[in-house]
Structure 1
Amino acid sequence: MRKKNSTNWINEKKITANCGMGYTLNLIGGRWKAGILWAIVEKGTLRFSEIRDQLSGISERMLAKQLDELEEDELINRIVYPEVPPRVEYELTKLGVSMRPMLQQMSEWGEMHQKQTEEAAQ
């Protein structure tokens, strides 16, 4: 957690307050959040282990942290079933579902860009 009086934190708050794109990138930015959202978009409701299996290289601690942040930002719902052993699933909220077209476009653009830059490098 960053200090709330750091220059970085103050600048982030200014950007997210005045720029819709900056706000969105702050919500889904970083190494894992977009991948987590995309896994749920593609597969539907998933359990923790299923999300982990979709994202090679993510630690359980980092996945738990990212899921908590996405839930706090109201992009996913955490559903806990009162069973033994406990079962927890994650699904998109209405806000999360509304991001589907944007995430699809980002995925397609990324694949196109990657292909073009790989071809240019050859």
Structure 2
Amino acid sequence: MRETLCRRAGPGLLPLSDRPFNAARSPMKLYEYAAARLPVVYKASAELCRLGLPFAFPYRVQDIFPAAVRAAALYRETGGAEMRAFAEAKSWRGIAERILDFARRVRA
């Protein structure tokens, strides 16, 4: 239900402040938006920019915020598979599968 409602929305927004504790933050909302196949417009931070996600559109000043929203809207029409793959890899199931794969390799 929640995923269906999100799909009707525009891009997800992460308007992080410039406070130091946001500098290395990787917010959970990013993963939730990706699971709902919602592109993300976010206030640029080193950590989020480092991830280089194709469905995440940064803005640094308010003047380019509308451009980031337009880019996210265009991406939304074409790029749902990348967002879903990212969300699945970061899900608890995806993490558990990687741990089990690692344990199997170590045991072999």
Fold similarity call, TM over 0.5: no
More helix by share: 1
TM-score under structure 2 length normalisation:
0.31
Of the two, which has the highest radius of gyration? 1
TM-score under structure 1 length normalisation:
0.29
For CA contacts below 8 A with separation 6 or more, give which structure has more relative contact order: 2
